[in-house]
Amino acid sequence: MFRRVAIIGGGAAAVALLSELVERAHAPLHLDWYTGGVARPGRGTAYGTSSPRHLLNVRAATMGMFSRRPHGFLDFAQRADPQAAGTDFLPRRLYGDYLEDEATRALAQSRSRGVDVRMVPFAADALVPETDGATVIQGERASRVDAAVLALGALPVRPLAGVDATVLGDGRYVIDPWSLLAGATSDDAAREVALVGLGLTAVDVLLELAERWPHAHFTAVSRHGRLPASHLPASAVPDDDGGALVEAMHDAPETRRWLRLLREAIDASDDWRVVIDSLRPYTPELWDALPAPERARFLRHARWAWERARHRMPPQVERQVQALERDGRLQRVSGRVTGAGAAQQRVQLSVCRAGHCAPLVADLAIQTIGLDTDVRGTAHPLMRQLVTNGHVTPDPFGLGCQATLDGHLCRDGVPWPSLYGVGSLLRGARWESVAMPEIRLQARMLAKRLLDATGPSARRRLASQAG
């Protein structure tokens, strides 16, 4: 087993891995946890919100972190509110509280389980992977570890191409909606707000600002102008385990064929959501089977539809958004934003569709395109160092890093024996890798691998490949 492990990141993925390692440790283990300077480790971007309007998009009963305590989150929620039910979509801030509680629990248990945790309340400045370990550099200190795990979560947001520096500098075009929401105050001013993107991030921003700014009007722009789909009012399970559909998809790893198979399965089902959910356990292996040209075709033509169907709104959120549309406070526009510039004291977006571009003028534009996983040209200091120095290779489609299905990060297709990723950096290898159910499974399997599965023979085999 690895005796000294560095966990780099202070969000939910890092807490999940820390907790799994502490619970599973069966021999002395030293953990260096680089939390990145966050005030409250565990919350990250997703669970750092304090708004009661921002809900989980997964039901409470399935959000526990551990297989041995599958209802851990629900039990935690019911201590605060005995009326909380497993079918509820609870506030994300409550899940942040749960993650903090799990981190505190893991730290309290660590000593009794022979785990020495050194919390470093800073980000790692650099990392040098080698065939038999890694060196983590923070400030003037260099620490040698047997293995390092990057659990970085969201990368720093970047403006879309064509956004003028003037509107970025004066705040008319906002690229970080969460910082805006954290500082936004309530007022009655009438204003026109443009949202660039129409996924779950846009929905969160819309609901919060619509409440704080009751006289604001919102125009949301996305490629197809469609909102995320919603969950069923009641939970449902697949008619079968999805095995027949998955087998057929494996037999023909082509995007067009897959879409035809999905349509056929949906036509034979009572509800399309049951079919989509039945694929969730198999998504990594299906994505792994898809050749690179077919991945490119999927991302170009079907990604938007998959994202809309897979990452859904709670029913009560859908009703709130529909009410804003009925009241005339929300307008949806189909098109692609190709630029943004100043228009007197306002911001003007260029919105293009089918070769025709038209201006959209607003008092404020907010970029709500969601999580950035592209490490190419990122402003994240550690990822920039790793990419610039050639230690890791970016995924060719901007989906994190080249990696194996089991989490080894790669250099030019060759896995490092002692450098791992968990969460968003693995999206290129696993496709679905940003939601908590997927992250907790990755953390569980990686903890087992770090503690048990990586024997000397496996390390020598990977070392020979990397050499």
Q: pLDDT tens string for the chain (467 positions)? A: 679 999 999 999 999 999 999 999 988 999 999 999 887 888 888 898 999 999 999 999 999 888 778 889 999 999 999 999 999 999 999 999 999 999 999 999 999 999 999 999 999 999 999 999 999 999 999 999 999 999 998 899 999 999 999 999 999 999 999 999 999 999 999 999 999 999 999 999 999 999 999 999 999 999 999 999 999 988 766 555 678 999 999 999 999 999 999 999 999 998 999 999 999 999 999 999 999 999 999 999 999 999 999 999 999 999 999 999 999 999 999 999 999 999 999 999 999 998 899 999 999 999 999 889 999 999 999 999 999 999 999 999 999 999 999 999 999 999 999 999 999 999 999 999 999 989 999 999 999 999 985 444 445 444 554 44
Contact 373, 367 (CB under 8 A): no
Q: How many CA atoms are closer than 13 Å to the CA of 406, on its beta-carbon side?
A: 12
Instruction: Tell me the C-alpha distance between 164 and 162, whole Å.
Output: 6
Instruction: Tell me the C-alpha distance between 12 and 442, whole Å.
Output: 12
> So what's the pLDDT on residue 462?
47
The separation between the first and the last C-alpha atoms of the chain, rounded to the nearest angstrom, is 21
4-156+372-466 adopts what CATH topology?
FAD/NAD(P)-binding domain (3.50.50)
Rounded to two decimals, the pTM is 0.92
> So what's the pLDDT on residue 68?
76
Q: In CATH, which of 3.10.580.10, 2.60.40.1120, 3.50.50.60, 3.30.420.40 is domain 165-230+312-367?
A: 3.50.50.60
**Phi, psi at residue 384, to the nearest 5°?**
-60, -40
Helix (H, G, I), strand (E, B) or coil at 82: coil
Torsion sign, CA atoms 122, 123, 128, 129:
positive
* Spatial CB neighbours of 71, under 8 Å, sequence gap ≥ 6: 61, 64, 86
DSSP 111: G
Helix (H, G, I), strand (E, B) or coil at 431: coil
Place of tokens 């749960």: 98
Place of tokens 């194996």: 404
Q: Where in the chain is the domain with CATH 3.50.50.60?
A: 4-156+372-466, 165-230+312-367
